[in-house]
Amino acid sequence: MRWLPLFLDLRGRRVVVIGGGAIAERKIDLLIQSGAAIRIIAPAITPRLAARLTAGELEHAPRDFVPADLDGARLAIAATDAPLVNRAVATAAEARNIFANIVDNAELSTGILPAIVDRSPLVIAIGTEGSAPALARYVRAHIESLLDESLGRLAGFLARWRERIRQRVPDTLLRRRLYERILHGPVADRVRAAREDEAAVLLDQMTLAGAAAGGAPACEGGRVQIVGAGPGDPGLLTLHALRALQGADVVLHDRLVSAGVLGLARREAQLIEVGKSARGHSIDQAHIHELMREHAARGLRVVRLKGGDPFIFGRGGEEIAFLRTHGIPYEVVPGITAALACAAYAGIPLTHRDHAASLRIVTAHCQGAIDAVDWRTLALQRETLAIYMAVGTVERVEAELLRHGRAPDTPVAFIENGSRPEQRVLIGTLAGAAALSAAHAVSSPALLVVGSVAALAAQLHWYGDVPLDGRPRATARVAHSG
């Protein structure tokens, strides 16, 4: 290891930056965060650096570099595209026994600024000894996706508790076990949820119990995360959802959650399908509640993984009500719901201003749901309807919309397996929606879009196969003419 990683305290200490261009900007952004006293040596600087100068965040000497510029400095950074100037900076720094970072020249440098993941006071530095900066940035991007933004708050929280924990749990091994419980339990959950007062109460109870028991920290129960899996494409998972899956002990997942999404779960996690289906085997909601309670009671981290978003026809509200009633810690991670994702993957802008004044999201999964719908309102002409689970009831949906005044030639689109490699889009008209679905054997999961925006899929599609256009030919010509 040629380069020793080292964190420097530069608060109020002189750092000289030679160069006033875009590269210097990036270095100075970091230096300002560190509290360094920055002095730029450059004939000219960018407008952004000039704004920082006006704000009093740095000094500027508008001239060429001379070796004496490094007198009294703790660090020098050469950020120019002039090899002779960069070499002069390296020579002057060596003569004064100060570290120098010569951008894009590791051989002349005695210090390298690494790629940084900043969750202050938690900071991770990534370096490749100057040989592959692009690789360092690549690794940083992966680490960024794994580390929650709340880790900075957690680090600060633990710093405030460090001495009290040391006094109450003096044994090193027991203290290490306590920290493991903190990081993987409800204390960290409360900090992540911006409820640090509650986290402090929990930690106080844990450490007091540990002191009373001769240093053995109290054990706590598990937790449940209600997580939205999106419509199928693993790339549509949020960072919070990915982190939940990679920290799970048990994943209770819906039937339609894609294999790609499940493949992102922690390898040791137990995967349990708890899906519901209009046909065949189903698990009732009461049993799902009991599974969540049972696994959380064993102290496990449970992810209840639901297709789309948990609160859009996903019964997530019922599940967190159950968890709250039973005193089980929980959090909710929203997901990208099918109406938004599937329409986007089909090239259908749901609220295109030339076609739709509003958007309604409704479900038609059973006759009871259909009977509760206000069809008169849904029949408004300049409104987009995104109808979930309509495959089995499309005949009734078609009939009700037509009966309440929706135009028979209103464009519709079925989006089957939206966002997945097997995505299929069929375009037709409202009067022929049921026939179109039957002719092409549309199956779940499928979203039905009703409204003039549906026809735009023929022009704006970008993902998967070209949409199948089942509209009458004259209607298709009109749709393409714009």
| Tens of pLDDT, residues 103-119 | 989 899 999 988 899 98
**Is residue 1 predicted with pLDDT exceeding 80?**
no
- Give CA 58 to chain center in angstroms: 35
Of 215, 220, 203, 198, the C-alpha closest to 159 is: 203
| Contact predicate 112/106, CB 8 Å | yes
Tokens of 437: 């679905």
Top pLDDT among 287 and 145 is at 287
- pLDDT, average across residues 184-202: 88
Give the three-state DSSP class for 232: coil
Q: How far apart are CA 449 and CA 323, in angstroms?
A: 34
Question: Residue 478's pLDDT is what?
Answer: 39
Q: Could you check whether the bond before residue 234 is cis, i.e. omega within 30 degrees of 0?
A: no
In this structure, which amino acid lies at residue 446? A
C-alpha to C-alpha distance for 481 and 474, rounded to whole angstroms: 11
How many Cβ atoms are within 10 Å of 358's Cβ, its own excluded? 12
Give CA 367 to chain center in angstroms: 36
Q: Give the pLDDT of residue 219.
A: 46
Residues 6 or more apart whose CB falls under 8 angstroms from that of 280 comprise none
Tokens 């929280």 sit at which residue?
157
Q: How confident is the model at residue 12 (pLDDT cuts 50, 70, 90)?
A: very high
402, pLDDT greater than 50: yes
In the predicted structure, residue 40 carries a pLDDT above the cut 70: yes
Read off the tokens for 86: 């960069």
Tell me, what's the pLDDT at 215?
A: 47
Q: How far apart are the first and last CA of the chain?
A: 63
- Element containing residue 61 per DSSP (H, E): strand 59-61
Per-residue pLDDT reduced to its tens digit, 362-384: 998 766 667 778 899 999 888 99
Q: In this structure, what DSSP letter does residue 481 have?
A: T
Split at pLDDT 50, 70, 90, the class of 211 is: low
Q: Using CA atoms, how far apart are residues 84 and 81, in angstroms rounded to an integer?
A: 9
Check whether 450 has a pLDDT greater than 90. Answer: yes
Q: What pLDDT sits at residue 355?
A: 92
How many CB atoms are closer than 10 A to CB 280?
A: 7
- Rg of the chain over Cα atoms, rounded to whole angstroms, equals 30
| Amino acid letter, residue 134 | A
pLDDT of residue 368: 67
Is the pLDDT assigned to residue 77 strictly greater than 80? yes
15-31 as b/e: b if 16+ CB within 10 A = bbbbbbeebbbebbeeb
Exposure string over 206-217, b if 16+ CB within 10 A, otherwise e: bbeebeeeebeb
**Mean residue pLDDT across the chain:** 90
Taking 60 as the threshold, does the pLDDT of residue 339 lie above it? yes
Closest by alpha carbon to 399, among 420, 379, 428?
A: 379
Confidence of residue 480 (pLDDT cuts 50, 70, 90): very low
Give DSSP secondary structure letters for 313-373: SS-HHHHHHHHHHTT--EEEE----HHHHHHHHTT--TT-TTT-SEEEEEE-SSHHHHHTS
**Which one, of 314, 204, 300, lies nearest residue 255 by Cα?**
314
Amino acid at residue number 138: Y
Give the model's pLDDT for residue 110: 95
pLDDT at 47 over 90: yes
Residues 167-175 have a mean pLDDT of 86
Q: Which of 122, 130, 123, 120 has its CA nearest to residue 100?
A: 130
Task: Tell me whether strands 330-333 and 223-228 are parallel, antiparallel or unpaired.
Answer: parallel
Question: What is residue 477's predicted lDDT score, i.e. its pLDDT?
Answer: 40
Residues marked as catalytic: 254, 276
Position 408 scores a pLDDT of 96
Q: Which residue spans within 401-473 are E strands per DSSP?
A: 411-416, 424-429, 446-450, 468-469
Q: What is the pLDDT of residues 349-363, one digit of tens each?
A: 999 999 998 999 999
285 to 225, 282, 292: CA distances (angstroms): 17, 9, 11
**Taking CA 50 as the corner, what is the angle to CA 136 and CA 80, rounded to the nearest 5 degrees?**
45
Q: Where does 382-469 show beta strands of DSSP type E? A: 383-388, 411-416, 424-429, 446-450, 468-469
Return d(Cα 338, Cα 414) in angstroms, integer: 12
